[in-house]
Structures are given as C-alpha cells and as structure tokens.
Amino acid sequence: MVITEFLERNARLYGAETALVELSPSEERDSAVTWREASLIESAQPDAPYRRALSWRDFDRRANRFANLLLSRNLKRGAKVGILMMNCLEWLPVYFGALKAGCIAVPLNFRYSSDEIKYCLELADVEALVFGPEFVGRMDAIAGDLPQVRLMFFVGREVPAYAEDCGRLMGFCSSSPPPVALTEEDHAAIYFSSGTTGFPKAILHNHLSLVSSCETEQRHHGQTREDVFLCIPPLYHTGAKMHWFGSLISGSRAVLLRGVKPEWILRAVTEEKCTIVWLLVPWAQDLLDAVESGKVKLDDYYLDQWRLMHIGAQPVPPSLIHRWKSVFPHHQYDTNYGLSESIGPGCVHLGVENIHKVGAIGVPGYRWETKIVDEQGREVPQGEIGELAVKGRGVMLCYYKNPEATAEILRDGWLYTGDMARMDADGFIYLVDRKKDVVISGGENLYPVQIEDFLRRYEKIKDVAVIGLPDQRLGEIAAAVIECKEGLSCTEEEIRDFCRDLPRYKRPRRIIFDRVPRNPTGKIEKPLLREKYCHGRLVEAQISN
C-alpha cells in the first residue's frame, strides 16, 4: 500500500466531509461573547473570515491537479519537488500531488535563510519548487542562482516575475488521478535533519516508511472518525505531519492553527471541537503560565471534548506534566519519541495507560524494536546508560548523497539515534541526553537533560539549557542558561541555594540569565548558545562548589 491510497479512499467514502480547516486568528476578534458560548452557535463557525476549510473530495482533486501539472511539465518519476510554505490549506494537497506524480516531496524549514534554502535545494537536487508569499524576499536573493530548479510555482496573489501562478495553472489541469502506478518501495520524501549541528542532512524515505507512520500513530492514539486533531507545529517537519497521519488513516478532521498563543489554542479547541492536541514544550509551558497567572480563564472556553494532549520532539520535563495534570486532570497524556530518520514520532512512546511512568519516553512503538548499546554496539545491562538504537519499517533509506554519514548511523538495519538512554526494570526507556551534548568535566560525565529537569522545578524558571564551556583545568564545565518566567526575576544566589540538592559534581559552575532559543520543533538550539558564550562577550556569575 502507498500513502496516497488513504487520501483516495477518504475522498471516495467521506467526500463531502471536512478534511482540513485552516485558522488564522488575530487580536481583533469580538471579545463580547466568550468562546464557550461562541462554540454553541452553529452558524458562527463557517462564516468566520479567518477560517478556511477543505473537503476530502476537494483535497484529493487538488492533489490530482497538482500532480497532473507536474506531469505536464515533464517531471519524471523520482524528480524532487520542494515545498516552502507556511502551514495552510494548500500545503498538504501540494505534498500529496507530488507523491501522486511519482515525484519525491522535499519539505523545507520555513526559518531557513536564503543561503540555507539554496543549500538544501542543491543538496536534494530539487527540480521544481512551490513557495508562498512569506518567502518572496528570501527567494528574490537566490532565484537567479538555482540552475537545477527549472520550475518555480508561487502560491499567492502577487506572483514574482521568476515564478508561475500555481493556482491558475492547476485550474487548467485535470482533477482525475494521474496515470502513475506507485509501489511501497518507491522513494516518497526527503526531510532535512534539524540542523542543530550545522547544515542539515537530507533524509530519504519511501512509501512503506510513510504508511508505517500512519499505522503507528493510529495504533498509539486510537483516532476515530469522531476525533478532531489540532495541528500547530510546522508541516515541513515529520513530527506534525506524521501525527496528522492518524487523521488521514481514520478519515477524521484536522485543524491547522496559524499561531501559538494560549488563547488561540483554546479558541481553536473550543470552536472546532478538537479532541486531540499535540504541543511542544514551550507552548504547553506558556498555556499553563497563562492559566495559572489568570491571564486566561478556562471557564471562557468549551473544552469538555478534549481527550488527549501529547508532546514530543524534545525531552519533556516531568514537572511540566505534573503541572498539566493538575490543571487538566481528565486529559490523557502521551509522549512520543522519534527522529526524522525514523519517520518522526512513534518508534518509542509512553502510552496513555502509563501515566505513572512520566519521565520515561516509553517502550518500543507499534512494530518497532529498540536496544541500548555501548560504544562497541553490545547491549548494556539493564539500568546502565548507552546509546539508543531503533529498528522498524520507518527507518530511513539513507542520507541522500552522503554514504559516509549513512554508514555511521545505519548498521545491520538498526538506526543509531545518538541519544543516550537507560532502561528500568519494567522495560521503560529514559532519555538521558544527546551523545554529542554530554559534558565531560574533570573526567565525570554530566548529562545536561538531568540538570535541566532539576532546575525546571524552580518556580521562577520558565526554560533552561545546560551546555559545556571550555575550562583549562577541568576540560569542560557545565553552564546553565536560565530564562525566567515573564514578570519574574531571579538571582544567582537563589539558583546556588536551589542547586544544593544536586550532587556536588552536577551543580552548574556558571549561571547565565538569557533567553533559551528553540527551533520550530521545540528543540533547544545549543550550538547557538555555545557559539555565543564560548566566543562572544559574556557577563556571567561563577558559582563555587
């Protein structure tokens, strides 16, 4: 089976029903009526000017039109089609249209600079690019220097001179399925690594991999036709899209929210009757802060149908989930672990029935295997720390055009994740840290995630990142970059006192008060912090141990 068959089935069985909703909230909404009341006014939703919707039938037809447009321009099977758009109703039809044409979809990070866009387009051998109005400035700078990109399609009104109007051209193309036979072994998509260690690598997946993520997601979270999934993270990333795949396989509605403010999330849940919400750690923190501070009142919203909140993409502080359950005691909770190399979340997951194991990333996901190994690839004894390796149908084929990097991470069908982990007596896996982020100080291995989890318990701390800084005597020392909650301040002395409950060797020797940068998928951008504080000017506090 190939991934496009799910879309065609949904169009056939549920054609007139809504598949996708796009919400573009603004500050201008009428505040005279609470959102709980607004949700009960049936006519208020379809008429909202900030809301666009797409049925399963139209979704499939648009995908067919785009596929036929590509074929009319002589794109051959295996040609690469780049997608550079913000989340919108056009995104997924373009993605599926590329697949239906037998092409390889290549989603691009919306935060990429012009140079990074150019690098990725060249690395992936992209022949056609679809981009939106938010990227005109960046594309202006490089459009004349992309000889391999022979087709540029624009989704928007004011079409740049070097591009063509995608919507107008699709209008001339057939909405019938293109005459392209696909197999599960066909190459389907190239995703890029997060790039937190430099320029990203191109990760190649086939249709079997995409289908496996559909099945894994639906098995883990039990999506039914009655569920409504709120999708906030960017669709270019495997995390958001592969969680949406649960809606695809169940034929249920999904909502694309263009904004992450706490009140916008709660409005969307209320107005669209959302039952499942996937959040990143910073958004969950912001929502809880808004509720606990009184800026947001839950009684203003209708949330009774919201059954599941799950988080992934980065380590989840247990203290955050304990806070969440105190505010939303009736929610199921799950966390999902994965990499773009393992087609996103799901190779390890906690499971909603295992809330008593908060802090673990969980057990092997549906149809996945795991092991924890030492430097020689031998499994370590239970409880000891080693590198997590995973195996399953969702493992990437390779790093495109990079056999050396592929050989480092793929061995005998196992994907070596680069994450250090341990397993408890019940078989639950706990993430310790990224292998490359381990700080070796005076011969001791320090795992930043453990120190970060400890510091996040302090009531004034919103976010924290622990990095290693060079030290002449110890080789490295642990430095904690601390971001305080809005409206609160913290002193070095407070942090020093709080850290007395840590073992002496784990206490950070330097404290830095600064913003903690995170990328669009919620991962802390530690290379930025290392660059800033290893080479930049720094006013810091030395903590004596």
SS3 (DSSP) at 435: helix
* Overall fold of domain 4-327: Rossmann fold (3.40.50)
pLDDT of 323 above 80: yes
pLDDT of 107 above 50: yes
Rounded-to-integer distance, Cα 408 and Cα 386, Å:
16
CATH of domain 438-542: 3.30.300.30
Confidence label for 521 from pLDDT (cuts 50, 70 and 90): low
Q: CB-based contacts of 443: which residues, under 8 Å, 6+ apart?
A: none
Q: Average the pLDDT over 143-148 and give the result.
A: 95
Global confidence as pTM: 0.82
Say which range, 36-50, 254-268, 408-422, has the weakest mean pLDDT: 36-50
pLDDT at res. 101: 98
pLDDT of 32 above 50: no
Say which range, 293-302, 397-406, 435-444, has the weakest mean pLDDT: 435-444
| Continuous H helices in 231-317 | 238-250, 262-272, 281-293
Q: Are 389 and 420 in contact (CB under 8 A)?
A: no
Burial class (CB in 10 A: 0-12, 13-18, 19+), 44: middle
Dump pLDDT digits (tens) for 150-179.
999 999 999 999 999 999 999 999 999 999
pLDDT of 381 above 80: yes
What is the 8-class DSSP label of residue 472? Answer: T
pLDDT at res. 34: 38
pLDDT at res. 29: 43
- CATH 3.40.50.12780 domain range(s) in the chain: 4-327
Angle between helices 238-250 and 207-221 (to 10 degrees): 70
Q: Average the pLDDT over 519-538 and give the result.
A: 71
pLDDT at res. 166: 96
**% of residues, the chain, pLDDT over 70:** 90
pLDDT at res. 528: 83
Q: Average the pLDDT over 115-119 and give the result.
A: 92
pLDDT at res. 46: 41
Burial class (CB in 10 A: 0-12, 13-18, 19+), 497: exposed
Please give the single-letter amino acid code of residue 268. Answer: A
Confidence label for 45 from pLDDT (cuts 50, 70 and 90): very low
pLDDT at res. 41: 33
SS3 content of the chain, % helix, strand, coil (to 5): 35, 25, 40
43-57, 196-210, 254-268, 441-455: which is most confident: 254-268
Dump pLDDT digits (tens) for 188-245.
999 998 654 457 899 999 999 999 999 999 999 999 999 999 999 899 988 888 899 9
Torsion of CA 323, 327, 332, 336, to 10 degrees: -40
Cite the beta strand spans of 64-216 per DSSP E.
80-84, 104-107, 126-131, 151-154, 164-165, 187-192, 202-206
What is the 8-class DSSP label of residue 379? Answer: B
Q: Average the pLDDT over 57-81 and give the result.
A: 97
pLDDT at res. 143: 96
Q: Average the pLDDT over 351-378 and give the result.
A: 93
pLDDT at res. 27: 46
Q: Average the pLDDT over 22-34 and give the result.
A: 57
Say which range, 318-332, 436-450, 480-494, has the weakest mean pLDDT: 436-450
Helix (H) or strand (E) holding 65: helix 56-72
Confidence label for 443 from pLDDT (cuts 50, 70 and 90): low
Rounded-to-integer distance, Cα 340 and Cα 355, Å:
26
- Rounded to the nearest integer, the mean pLDDT of the chain is 88
- CATH 3.30.300.30 domain range(s) in the chain: 438-542
pLDDT of 442 above 70: no
The angle subtended at Cα 396 by Cα 66 and Cα 368, nearest 5°, is 115
pLDDT at res. 114: 92
How many beta carbons lie within 10 A of that of residue 158, not counting itself?
Answer: 8
Q: CB-based contacts of 5: which residues, under 8 Å, 6+ apart?
A: none
Please give the single-letter amino acid code of residue 490. Answer: C
Q: Average the pLDDT over 325-346 and give the result.
A: 92
Closest by CA to 241, choosing from 368, 56, 96, is 96
For the four alpha carbons of 286, 292, 296 and 302, in that order, the dihedral sign comes to positive
pLDDT of 40 above 60: no
In total, the chain counts a number of residues equal to: 545
